[in-house]
Amino acid sequence: MKFATYVHQGKESVGLVDAEAGRVYRVDVADMVELIARYDEIAPSIRRNGNGAELSEVKLLAPVPRPRRNIFCVGKNYRDHAKEFANSGYEAGAVKGAEIDDYPAVFTKPGTCVIGPGDTVDTHPRVTSAVDYEVELTIVIGKGGRDISRTEAHRHIFGYTIINDVTARDRQKNHRQWFLGKALDTFCPMGPWIATADEVDAENLQVRTWVNGELRQDANTSDLIFDIPGLIETISAGTTLEPGDLIATGTPAGVGLGFNPPKFLKAGDNVTMTISGIGTLSNPFA
């Protein structure tokens, strides 16, 4: 199943999405985190009630529009991207021949970054001149826990969504860490909805990005260096994960800094991302 957070006739709701029919059906919960936390209890009662609403008539929000904690993010998790980043001049401390890390690099984005499908990303021209895009398959935690083993990790996944991990590359480089380059307001478009884990083969999904219609990123999640069970095991080691937590799994090659010269984003650009089995996330930049 697919679940969205949306506004219809002035009211924010969570709904069951029928993407093929183009409709969404309201689910009686306060928000997406409640749906996720109570899913086993309420799943038998979730159904297409009445006619629902046309997707074309609602405003889709980020599926988790107000994350209760920072979003966990993984860097350099596709081999070709790790190499393009190291060779770009924007990775502080890059060492030739050591582009692939032995352990996943993990950072966070604050919830204030989050916006929904179709919302405008602020390029913050007073702060940065090197805005980049990163399509990322994002895990949505269902069952919380700590010290989760990789063999049990799948039991803790509710589903998956798409995040654009927008990045100010100059801030990322100059400050020699990633948070300040990743944490600007609007720098986390998310959506269009969550596909439950039983609907997708997360280890075999095609991940693509277009900028103004030009295909830039095109890879498969089978290319992840650190796989999904391993990421959950690593991040939950000594740290409790909670229902509704989000883990962005990294981006493939083809980001703007990988071109010569770099193709950074500017006002007027439009970025569209798709992940097979999930959907399409598109946002203008201004």
To the nearest whole percent, how much of the chain has pLDDT over 90? Answer: 88
In tens, the pLDDT along 1-54 reads 999 999 999 999 999 999 999 999 999 999 999 999 999 999 999 988 888 999
The span from the CA of 31 to the CA of 15, in Å, is 10
97 pLDDT higher than 70: no
Residue 48 is predicted with a pLDDT of 87
Stretch 239-267: mean pLDDT? 97
**Is pLDDT larger for residue 106 or for residue 47?**
106
Residue 98 is predicted with a pLDDT of 59
62: CB partners within 8 A, 6+ apart: 5, 114, 115, 116, 117, 188, 189, 190, 191
Task: Dump strand ranges (E) for the chain.
Answer: 2-8, 11-18, 23-27, 53-54, 59-60, 71-75, 105-109, 114-115, 131-132, 135-141, 157-164, 167-168, 188-196, 206-211, 214-220, 246-248, 270-275, 279-284
Residue 95 is predicted with a pLDDT of 64
79 pLDDT higher than 80: yes
What global pTM score does this model have? 0.96
pLDDT band at 84 (very low <50, low <70, confident <90, very high): confident
Q: Look up residue 84 and give its DSSP letter.
A: H
